[in-house]
Structure 1
């Protein structure tokens, strides 16, 4: 390693178990538990995605180390949450879910009022989802930003009428109607939003028709996934 390289840099262009262990062990207050739990999973699974997940987590925690809740990370609940999230990450192949698990972990241990039961519930929910559920939730959490990222394909409306289905068809052109409807229905059943269907015609307010549709629980889940 050259003097200009930090401990998280791999000269072989890959994330190794050693790099992950060094990065996690350096996290203030929580490093011992993180490194120990991570090593147990790494030894069981030689998994590139898991190594990258853990390295990204170490990078995130290093950036927010001053916000880490010292009381929570010295509790049994912290160790339980670490094992739960790391085990689910080890089983996941989908980037959207890995990113969600990482966000939940970071947001929990940097919260002044870290709530293990709440975090564990949301981890279980995300583990039961497909990436499409996370995509649609993130659109609902900030519709205007989601539209802007896609080149304002929906815009502010101006037509006579529209439907949520038509709006999502523009935002998610690779999705078929069945994917849109099933995902929306799943989120409704999970109490994420409060609208039962997508095909009801309504005044065309463009992307703004998606605003304000999350339930209180849906907003909470969205906050946990924001990083």
Structure 2
């Protein structure tokens, strides 16, 4: 028995595995040469992703039990939004390999488990947003929730200027985005269209303190709370 299979043998893993199987059942059955291709090239990494994802969830549920005294895993059996979240997040996780997105999906499941005070329809909307975003959408959003705190948390020197623009903040935080305006302009417009970021352009000149001001909307802050660990 592999280490992964051993890890999935615990209570949290068994429970989550039962839920996730229903989500995997949604994958259509294929035949002929396509079936052979699926068996040889797709099924093994898909199973590996599934097992790694379920272990990630099981470890998160165990952390809830250790850090939140009133949390009871048995209460999740009849928690419909939790079950739906696990199914939705599992299908999204199987389509993704980026750590930021997997972490966001995991945190969404954990927040649904503890009963976060967010309308169920909004929770499902947030799950769809995570699924459709790139990791860069998440990075830009987290930066502009509180740029000063971001630089402090990441042990980076914040830009110092008397006049500047949010563009300077972004390119100081992520040097790899220098000269890629066409790319990050799309990211910002996407986040603005989704109601998460309060600006649709980073190029307006303003004071240095203005450039470093938070840019996320209330809806954006709610989204961030949903993809942040509940402990």
Tell me the TM-score normalized by structure 1: 0.78
Gaps of 5+ in 1: 2-8, 11-15
Does residue 80 of structure 2 align to residue 93 of structure 1?
no
Equivalent residue for 2:18?
Answer: 36
> Could you tell me how far 1:73 is from its partner in structure 2?
4.3
Relative CO higher for 1 or 2, CA cutoff 8 Å, sep ≥ 6? 2
Does residue 21 of structure 2 align to residue 21 of structure 1?
no
Give the secondary structure class of the aligned counterpart of 2:85: helix
Conserved? CA contact 1:161–1:204, under 8 Å: yes
Spell out, residue by residue over 1:190-227, the C-alpha distance to the aligned partner (whole angstroms, 9 max, x if none).
1102112111110112xx73433211110000101112
Equivalent residue for 1:57?
Answer: 57
> Could you tell me how far 1:36 is from its partner in structure 2?
0.6
Alignment of 1:124-143 (within 5 A): 124-143=128-147
Q: How far apart in 2 are the matches of 1:86 and 1:74?
A: 19
Q: How far apart in 2 are the matches of 1:225 and 1:20?
A: 24
Spell out, residue by residue over 1:136-180, the C-alpha distance to the aligned partner (whole angstroms, 9 max, x if none).
11112332232124443324x3x3311111111110111222222
Equivalent residue for 2:80?
Answer: 76
How many residues are matched? Answer: 205
Spell out, residue by residue over 1:117-151, the C-alpha distance to the aligned partner (whole angstroms, 9 max, x if none).
22211001111111100111111233223212444
- Structure showing the higher helix proportion among its residues: 2
Conserved? CA contact 2:24–2:91, under 8 Å: no
> Could you tell me how far 1:116 is from its partner in structure 2?
2.9
Once superposed, what is the RMSD of the aligned Cα atoms? Answer: 2.7
Q: How far apart in 1 are the matches of 2:224 and 2:17?
A: 28
Of residues 189-198 and 115-124 in structure 1, the stretch that sits farther from structure 2 once superposed is 115-124
Q: How far apart in 2 are the matches of 1:114 and 1:181?
A: 30
> Could you tell me how far 1:87 is from its partner in structure 2?
1.1
Q: How far apart in 2 are the matches of 1:69 and 1:214?
A: 34
Equivalent residue for 1:4?
Answer: none
Equivalent residue for 1:6?
Answer: none
Does residue 98 of structure 2 align to residue 111 of structure 1?
no
Gap change, CA 1:189 and 1:69, over 3 Å in 2:
farther
Conserved? CA contact 1:162–1:204, under 8 Å: yes
Equivalent residue for 2:176?
Answer: 174
